[in-house]
Structure 1
Amino acid sequence: MRGFPLVAPLAIAFAVLLADSAAAQQPAMDRVEVTGSRIRKAMIEGQAPLHTLTRRDIERSGLSSVGDVLQQLTSSGSALNTRFNRSGNFGFPADSGGVGAGATTVDLRHLGCKRVLVLVDGVRWVAEASASGVSSCSDLNTLPLAIIERIDVLEDGASSIYGSDAVAGVINIITRRDIGGGRMALHAGSYEQGDGELAVAEASYGWMQGPLSVFGSVSHVDQNAVFSRDRELSAVPVPGTGVAFGSTATPDGRFLLRDPSTGALRDLTRGTGSAQVGPGLVPGIVPFSDALRYNFAVENLALTPSERDSVFLQGRLEIGERTSAYLRTLLNRRRSAQRAAPEPIFLGATAGTGNPLADQIVIPASHPFNPFGFDLDSRGDNPSLLLLARRPVEGGPREFRQEVDTAYLAFGLEGSFEGALSPWYWDVNLAGSRNRAEQLNTGSYNLRRINRALGPSADCAADPACVPLDLFGGEGSITPEMLAYIQPLVRDRSANDLQLFSANLSGDLLELWAGPLALATGVERRELDGYYEPDPITVAGDYNGVPSLPTRGDYAVNEAYVEANLPVFASAASQLDLSAALRYSDYTLADGRSTGRAGFRWQFGDNLLFRGTFAEGFRAPSIGELFGAASRFDAFLVDPCLAQPGGAPAMSDCAAFGVPAGAIQLDQQIGVLTGGNPGLDPEHSESSSLGLVYSPRFAQGRAWSQALDIELTGYRHRIDDAIQALDPQTQLDLCVEGGPGSPFCDSIMRAPAGTISFFGNRLQNFGRVETSGLDLHIDWLWPETRFGQGRLRWANSYVFHYREFDGNGLRQPRREGLVVNDSAIPEWTSVLQADWRRGDVELLWTARYIDAMEESCGRAIDTPACPDPLRGVNRLGSTTLHDLQLGWYAPWFDGARVAIGANNLFDRDPPACLSCSLNGYEASTYDLPGRFYYVRAEFSF
Structure 2
Amino acid sequence: MLRERKYLFGTTILASVLALSAPAFAQTAPAQDPDEDEDETTVEEIVVVGSRIARDVYNSPSPVQVINREESTLAGLATTTEILQGVAVTGGTSQINNLYSGFVVNGGPGVNTIGLRGLGPTRTLVLLNGRRVAPAGSRGSVGSADLNVLPSALIERVEVLRDGASSIYGSDAVAGVINIVTRADIEGVVIEGNRQQTTQASGAGNATRLSIAGGIQGERWSFLGSVERFEREEIKLGDVEHAQCPTAGPYLPNTSGFEDFIDPLTGQPKCFSIDNGGVTVNTIATSTRSGIGAYGSATPGALGNFNRWRPNSSVSTGLIGFEGVGGPSAPSLDVRDTFDPRMLEETLFSPVATTTAFMSVGYDLRALGNAEIYAETLFNKRESSSLGGRQLVLDYAVGSLLIPANLSTGGPLAGNLGLTPGRNTQIRVFPYHQYSSEQEVDFAKQVVGIRGDLPISNWTYDAYVSYTNSRSEYQADLALTSRLINSLDVVVAPAGTPAALTRTGMGPAGQVTVTCRVNVGNTNANCVPAPFITNDTIGGYYPQDFINYVEEATLGVTSYDEFVASAGFGGELFSLPAGEVQFYLGAEFREASIDDTPDSASQTGDTYNFSTSAITRGSDSVWEVFGEVEVPLLRDLPIAKELTLSASGRYTDYESYGDDTTYKVGLLYQITDWVGLRATYGTSYRAPALFEQFLGATAGFLASTTDVCNNYDAPGRNPNLAANCASQGLPPGFTATSSVRQLNAGGAAAGLAAETSTNFTGGVVFTPTLPGRLGTLAVAVDYYDIQIDNGVSQVGSAFILNQCYTSSAADFAARSGYCAFVERAPVTNSLTVTNGYVNIATNVVEGIDYNLRYRNSFGPGDFLVNLNVTQYLERYNQLFPTDPTFTSVGRLGTPEFSASLNVQYSWDQWTVFWGTEWIDATTEEDDYFRRNGSSLKSFGIDSDLEEYYLHSASVRWGNDDLSLVMGVRNVFDVDPPTGTGYWVGGIGNSPTYSGYDHFGRTLFINVAKSF
> What's the TM-score bracket when you normalise by the shorter of the two chains?
0.7 to 0.9
Say if 2:944 is the partner of 1:883.
no
SS at match of 1:538: helix
SS at match of 2:814: coil
1:912: which partner in 2? 978
Q: Give unmatched runs, 5+ long, in structure 1.
A: 1-24, 349-361
Q: CA RMSD in A?
A: 3.2
The answer on whether the counterparts of 1:177 and 1:214 sit within 8 Å (CA) in structure 2 is: no
1:470: which partner in 2? 531
Say if 2:756 is the partner of 1:684.
yes
Task: State the AA in 2 paired with 1:125.
Answer: V
Closer, same or farther: CA 441–448 of 1 in aligned 2, 3 Å: same
Say if 2:570 is the partner of 1:506.
yes
Task: State the AA in 2 paired with 1:205.
Answer: G
Q: Deviations over 1:3-40 (max 9, x none)?
A: xxxxxxxxxxxxxxxxxxxxxx9997752111210011
SS at match of 1:938: strand
Quote the Cα distance in structure 2 between the aligned partners of 1:939 and 1:622: 43
Task: State the AA in 2 paired with 1:314.
Answer: S
Q: Deviations over 1:543-573 (max 9, x none)?
A: 0122221211111101000111112222355
2:324: which partner in 1? 287
What is the CA distance between 1:844 and its match in structure 2? 0.7
SS at match of 1:365: coil
Task: State the AA in 2 paired with 1:255.
Answer: A
- The percentage of counterpart residues that share the same residue type is 24
Say if 2:67 is the partner of 1:37.
no
Task: State the AA in 2 paired with 1:691.
Answer: G
What is the CA distance between 1:244 and its match in structure 2? 4.0
What is the CA distance between 1:838 and its match in structure 2? 1.7
2:453: which partner in 1? 416
Greater shift in the superposed pair: 538-547 or 569-578: 569-578
What is the CA distance between 1:774 and its match in structure 2? 1.1
The answer on whether the counterparts of 1:226 and 1:302 sit within 8 Å (CA) in structure 2 is: yes
Say if 2:435 is the partner of 1:398.
yes
Task: State the AA in 1 paired with 2:830.
Answer: I
What is the CA distance between 1:285 and its match in structure 2? 4.2
2:774: which partner in 1? 704
How many pairs were matched up?
Answer: 868
Task: State the AA in 1 paired with 2:662.
Answer: T
Task: State the AA in 1 paired with 2:604.
Answer: A
2:151: which partner in 1? 144
What is the CA distance between 1:690 and its match in structure 2? 0.8
SS at match of 2:115: coil
Q: Deviations over 1:694-718 (max 9, x none)?
A: 221235xx3221x221112111111
The answer on whether the counterparts of 2:787 and 2:843 sit within 8 Å (CA) in structure 1 is: yes
Aligned runs of 1:90-109 on 2, under 5 Å?
90=103, 92=104, 97-98=106-107, 100-109=108-117
Q: Give unmatched runs, 5+ long, in structure 2.
A: 1-38, 250-259, 261-269, 292-303, 327-334, 492-516
1:896: which partner in 2? 962
Quote the Cα distance in structure 2 between the aligned partners of 1:27 and 1:369: 90
Closer, same or farther: CA 435–652 of 1 in aligned 2, 3 Å: same
Say if 2:221 is the partner of 1:173.
no
Say if 2:824 is the partner of 1:750.
yes
SS at match of 2:204: coil
SS at match of 1:592: strand
Closer, same or farther: CA 80–539 of 1 in aligned 2, 3 Å: same
What is the CA distance between 1:751 and its match in structure 2? 3.0
Quote the Cα distance in structure 1 between the aligned partners of 2:557 and 2:743: 21
Closer, same or farther: CA 689–110 of 1 in aligned 2, 3 Å: same
Closer, same or farther: CA 747–384 of 1 in aligned 2, 3 Å: farther
SS at match of 1:732: helix
2:991: which partner in 1? 921
The answer on whether the counterparts of 1:37 and 1:44 sit within 8 Å (CA) in structure 2 is: no
Say if 2:813 is the partner of 1:740.
yes
SS at match of 2:134: coil
The answer on whether the counterparts of 1:243 and 1:291 sit within 8 Å (CA) in structure 2 is: no
The answer on whether the counterparts of 1:659 and 1:753 sit within 8 Å (CA) in structure 2 is: no
Closer, same or farther: CA 439–29 of 1 in aligned 2, 3 Å: farther
Q: Deviations over 1:638-686 (max 9, x none)?
A: 4343438999999724575432424642447422112111021111111
Closer, same or farther: CA 649–31 of 1 in aligned 2, 3 Å: closer
What is the CA distance between 1:178 and its match in structure 2? 5.0
Say if 2:838 is the partner of 1:801.
no
2:598: which partner in 1? 534
SS at match of 1:475: helix
2:211: which partner in 1? 202
Work out which of the residue numbers 221, 224, 234 in structure 1 matches 2:230. Answer: 221
1:307: which partner in 2? 353
Closer, same or farther: CA 170–871 of 1 in aligned 2, 3 Å: farther
What is the CA distance between 1:151 and its match in structure 2? 1.3
Quote the Cα distance in structure 2 between the aligned partners of 1:658 and 1:646: 17
Closer, same or farther: CA 34–799 of 1 in aligned 2, 3 Å: same
Quote the Cα distance in structure 2 between the aligned partners of 1:896 and 1:646: 67
The answer on whether the counterparts of 1:82 and 1:305 sit within 8 Å (CA) in structure 2 is: no
2:402: which partner in 1? 368
Closer, same or farther: CA 293–916 of 1 in aligned 2, 3 Å: closer
Closer, same or farther: CA 26–257 of 1 in aligned 2, 3 Å: farther
The answer on whether the counterparts of 1:558 and 1:587 sit within 8 Å (CA) in structure 2 is: yes
The answer on whether the counterparts of 1:79 and 1:112 sit within 8 Å (CA) in structure 2 is: no
Closer, same or farther: CA 590–638 of 1 in aligned 2, 3 Å: closer
The answer on whether the counterparts of 2:518 and 2:525 sit within 8 Å (CA) in structure 1 is: no
Say if 2:300 is the partner of 1:272.
no
SS at match of 2:479: coil
Quote the Cα distance in structure 1 between the aligned partners of 2:635 and 2:617: 55
What is the CA distance between 1:612 and its match in structure 2? 0.7
Say if 2:473 is the partner of 1:432.
no
Work out which of the residue numbers 783, 799, 817 in structure 2 matches 1:714. Answer: 783
2:377: which partner in 1? 329
Q: Deviations over 1:805-863 (max 9, x none)?
A: 222432465611102xxxx11111111111101212210111111111111399xx9xx
Greater shift in the superposed pair: 485-494 or 154-163: 485-494
Task: State the AA in 1 paired with 2:588.
Answer: E
Greater shift in the superposed pair: 216-225 or 75-84: 75-84
The answer on whether the counterparts of 1:769 and 1:804 sit within 8 Å (CA) in structure 2 is: yes
2:797: which partner in 1? 728
SS at match of 2:99: coil
Quote the Cα distance in structure 1 between the aligned partners of 2:426 and 2:763: 62
Quote the Cα distance in structure 2 between the aligned partners of 1:115 and 1:196: 31
Q: Deviations over 1:126-185 (max 9, x none)?
A: 1122x2223222111111211212211000000000011101000011122253111111
Task: State the AA in 2 paired with 1:152.
Answer: E
The answer on whether the counterparts of 2:918 and 2:949 sit within 8 Å (CA) in structure 1 is: yes
Task: State the AA in 2 paired with 1:926.
Answer: Y
What is the CA distance between 1:724 and its match in structure 2? 1.5
2:848: which partner in 1? 774
Quote the Cα distance in structure 1 between the aligned partners of 2:557 and 2:620: 20
Quote the Cα distance in structure 2 between the aligned partners of 1:451 and 1:73: 50
Quote the Cα distance in structure 1 between the aligned partners of 2:686 and 2:145: 15
Closer, same or farther: CA 704–123 of 1 in aligned 2, 3 Å: same
Aligned runs of 1:548-627 on 2, under 5 Å?
548-571=613-636, 573=638, 574-604=641-671, 606-627=673-694
Quote the Cα distance in structure 1 between the aligned partners of 2:845 and 2:96: 24
Task: State the AA in 2 paired with 1:589.
Answer: S
What is the CA distance between 1:273 and its match in structure 2? 5.4
Closer, same or farther: CA 772–252 of 1 in aligned 2, 3 Å: closer
Aligned runs of 1:450-461 on 2, under 5 Å?
450-455=484-489, 457=491, 458-459=517-518, 461=520
Quote the Cα distance in structure 2 between the aligned partners of 1:119 and 1:291: 51
1:86: which partner in 2? 101
Q: Deviations over 1:877-901 (max 9, x none)?
A: 11221110111125xxx32111110
Task: State the AA in 2 paired with 1:407.
Answer: A
1:254: which partner in 2? 284
What TM-score comes out, normalization by structure 1 length? 0.86
SS at match of 2:722: coil
Q: Deviations over 1:709-744 (max 9, x none)?
A: 111211111111111233322322333333332413
Closer, same or farther: CA 930–936 of 1 in aligned 2, 3 Å: same
